[in-house]
């Protein structure tokens, strides 16, 4: 009896970094694995053609799965997103066709929280500025830095990453303020504040809120005007939470001291070039959660989900379990 077929859509040059050999090896124990041989992400007819005859699809973070796709792959049981963000998947269309959609749980909390601590130190001590100047052969004048100890960090969004960051910041001797309209922090040592109050008091404002319609351009000109001129803004969440024109203006005018960005409105949530090259900005190419530990967590969890589907079980992480009629029919559940 032949093994079921699982399609992994990651482009070939992203497979090891964003999926990994361990996950591939485990997947090969339960299914025949079909890989994307190209350096680009499949889309449209190319993706439909590749998915024919496949029982499960494991989607790279940029792979678009729309209504046309789900209507053209009659054998597909499940589309599994090897990440938390499933905005590239039309879940309603998948549900209409009876295809299960799932997501991985966030395994990148420690990595992103550490990235934030790293850029807070970098901004406060001008490390990147000095290092860049030295590499350019310039004479570097010493600049006075600032300690994190005794400073206030304002965390917007008290989810898993926010909780980890709060603990790390407290270990550095920082005061921690939190704004999250959906969560009341149980730790009495944290100050839960309205957003304007947090912005006015924080020396480091860290954006970790989810990307929702109500958080679109949450950090806008009005919000930036509430911040201290000596404060830094850090975004490790999603680009659409920031009005980039307003942030660029605030940096140009010295309304805030600087920013660190791991995300933005460029392709694949990368920082936008105009902000990334700004002299008051530290920018990284969406790598806050890019560590072997974080990637292994999500890839291995996705393999476990694929295994469950192929055995006729609804896996943890399913977002439309009641609509997964193809699984119910295939396995007479």
* pLDDT of amino acid 333: 65
Which tokens go with 301? Answer: 């969890």
* pLDDT tens-digit readout, 77-131: 999 999 888 989 999 999 999 999 999 998 899 999 999 999 999 999 999 999 9
Virtual CA dihedral for 267, 270, 271, 273, nearest 10 degrees? -50
Distance CA 257, CA 234 (A): 11
* pLDDT of amino acid 207: 98
Q: How far is CA 280 from the centre of its chain?
A: 23
* pLDDT of amino acid 1: 64
Model pTM above 0.95? no
CA 323 vs CA 96, 98, 131, 320: distances in Å: 7, 6, 54, 6
CA 35 vs CA 19, 59, 117, 322: distances in Å: 11, 11, 37, 29
* pLDDT of amino acid 195: 97
Which tokens go with 82? Answer: 């090897």
Rounded average pLDDT per 10-residue block, the chain, 333 residues: 92 94 96 96 92 97 94 97 91 97 93 98 97 95 96 96 97 98 91 97 97 94 98 96 98 98 93 97 96 94 97 96 96 81
Give the contacts of 88 (CB within 8 A, at least 6 positions apart). Answer: 59, 61, 62, 63, 64, 65, 81
The full set of domains in the chain, from first to last, is 5-107+292-330 (3.40.50.720), 109-283 (3.40.50.720)
Q: Which residue has the tokens 């679109």?
A: 216
């Amino acid at each position: 009896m032949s093994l079921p077929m699982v399609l992994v859509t990651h482009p070939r040059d992203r497979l090891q970094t964003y999926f990994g050999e361990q996950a591939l090896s485990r997947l090969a124990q339960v299914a025949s694995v079909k890989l994307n041989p190209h350096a680009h992400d499949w889309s449209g007819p190319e993706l439909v053609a590749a998915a024919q005859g496949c029982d499960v699809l494991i989607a790279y973070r940029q792979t678009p799965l729309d209504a046309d796709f789900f209507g053209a792959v009659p054998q597909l049981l499940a589309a599994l997103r090897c990440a938390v963000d499933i905005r590239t998947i039309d879940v309603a269309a998948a549900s209409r066709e009876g295809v299960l959609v799932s997501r991985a749980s966030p395994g990148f909390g420690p990595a992103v929280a550490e990235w934030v601590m790293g850029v807070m130190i970098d901004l406060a001590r001008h490390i990147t500025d000095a290092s860049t100047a030295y590499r350019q052969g310039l004479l570097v004048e010493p600049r006075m830095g600032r300690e994190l100890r005794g400073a206030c960090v304002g965390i917007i969004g008290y989810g898993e990453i926010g909780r980890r960051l709060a603990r790390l910041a407290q270990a550095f001797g920082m005061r921690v303020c939190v704004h999250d309209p959906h969560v009341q922090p149980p730790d009495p040592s944290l100050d839960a504040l309205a957003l304007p109050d947090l912005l006015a008091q924080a020396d480091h404002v860290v954006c970790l809120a989810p990307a929702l319609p109500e958080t679109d351009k949450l950090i806008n000109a009005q919000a930036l005007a509430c911040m201290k001129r000596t404060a830094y803004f850090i975004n490790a969440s999603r680009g659409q939470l920031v009005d980039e024109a307003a942030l660029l203006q605030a940096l140009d005018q010295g309304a805030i001291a600087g920013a660190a960005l791991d995300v933005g409105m460029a392709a694949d949530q990368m920082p936008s070039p105009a902000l990334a090259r700004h002299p008051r900005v530290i920018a990284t190419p969406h790598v806050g959660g890019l560590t072997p530990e974080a990637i292994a967590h999500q890839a291995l969890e996705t393999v476990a989900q694929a295994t469950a589907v192929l055995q006729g079980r609804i896996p943890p992480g399913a977002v439309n379990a009641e609509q997964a009629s193809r699984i119910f029919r295939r396995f007479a559940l």
